[in-house]
């Protein structure tokens, strides 16, 4: 199964590195001060703290951008229509409080193809932490006369993708397969998705 991997540089780690940097700088500052009073040293200390403060504030700054989700296809989806024969799958894509629906792959059964693109406005970082940056893809079976049936879902964490996009100006992830998990936590097929994130400058 394909998987996405990149350096772990999410929001939590950025803050952690900044705090470590500030701590080290403070220790250096104390060591320098121990050498005796000196106007040049004091000016250097003030400049160092000013630059560190600017660096830390920059790390906290929220960046707005567009997260693009390309819903490619799926296969091996479990059949919820035991007697009518065949399912009509569609996908509900959720990022935080925003939801978008794909078209219904009428009569596609266990191998639907969508090739559809969806866009979400994203703020990064925010106060939700790394686990808050995720896409939830809920695969459903469209029914005409009864409630739509739940086939399964996939969760895609995008913290690393967003952080990389902020750092590089753009981040992309090629079409990748993800397991579809049924309500009883069993394997129920796989879905293929591509992602990209572009910050607004």
Average pLDDT over residues 102-109: 96
* 49, 96: one domain: no
The residue count for the chain: 201
172 inside domain: yes
* 128, 54: one domain: no
* 113, 175: one domain: yes
Does the pTM surpass 0.75? The reply is no
State the Cα–Cα distance between residues 99 and 162, nearest whole angstrom: 19
* 74, 36: one domain: no
Rounded CA Rg of the chain: 24
Query: What CATH code is carried by the domain that includes residue 110?
Result: 2.60.40.150
pLDDT at 2: 44
Task: Write out pLDDT tens, residues 180-194.
Answer: 999 999 999 999 999
Task: Write out pLDDT tens, residues 125-147.
Answer: 988 887 899 999 999 999 988 99
6 inside domain: no
* 32, 112: one domain: no
**What residue numbers bound the domain in which 50 lies?**
11-60
* 38, 75: one domain: no
The answer to whether the beta carbons of residues 59 and 107 sit under 8 Å apart is no
40 inside domain: yes
State the Cα–Cα distance between residues 97 and 177, nearest whole angstrom: 24
Count structural domains, the chain.
2
**Which residue has better confidence, 153 or 131?**
153
pLDDT greater than 90 at residue 85: no
Q: How much of the chain exceeds pLDDT 90, in percent?
A: 60
* 178, 138: one domain: yes
The answer to whether the beta carbons of residues 93 and 102 sit under 8 Å apart is yes
């Amino acid at each position: 199964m394909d998987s996405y991997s990149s350096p772990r540089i999410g929001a939590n780690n950025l803050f952690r590195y900044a705090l470590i940097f500030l701590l080290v700088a403070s220790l250096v500052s104390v060591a320098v001060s121990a050498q005796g009073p000196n106007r040049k040293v004091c000016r250097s200390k003030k400049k160092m703290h000013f630059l560190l403060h600017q660096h830390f504030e920059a790390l906290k700054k929220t960046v707005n951008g567009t997260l693009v989700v390309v819903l490619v296809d799926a296969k091996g989806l479990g059949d919820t229509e035991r007697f009518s024969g065949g399912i009509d799958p569609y996908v509900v894509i959720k990022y935080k409080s925003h939801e978008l629906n794909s078209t219904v792959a009428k009569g596609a059964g266990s191998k639907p193809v969508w090739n559809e693109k969806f866009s979400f406005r994203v703020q990064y970082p925010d106060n939700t932490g790394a686990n808050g940056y995720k896409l939830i893809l809920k695969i459903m079976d469209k029914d005409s006369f009864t409630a739509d049936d739940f086939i399964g879902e996939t969760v895609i964490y995008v913290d690393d993708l967003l952080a990389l996009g902020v750092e590089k100006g753009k981040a992309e992830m090629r079409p990748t397969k993800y397991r579809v998990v049924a309500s009883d936590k069993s394997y129920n097929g796989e879905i293929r998705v591509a992602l990209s994130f572009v910050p607004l400058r």
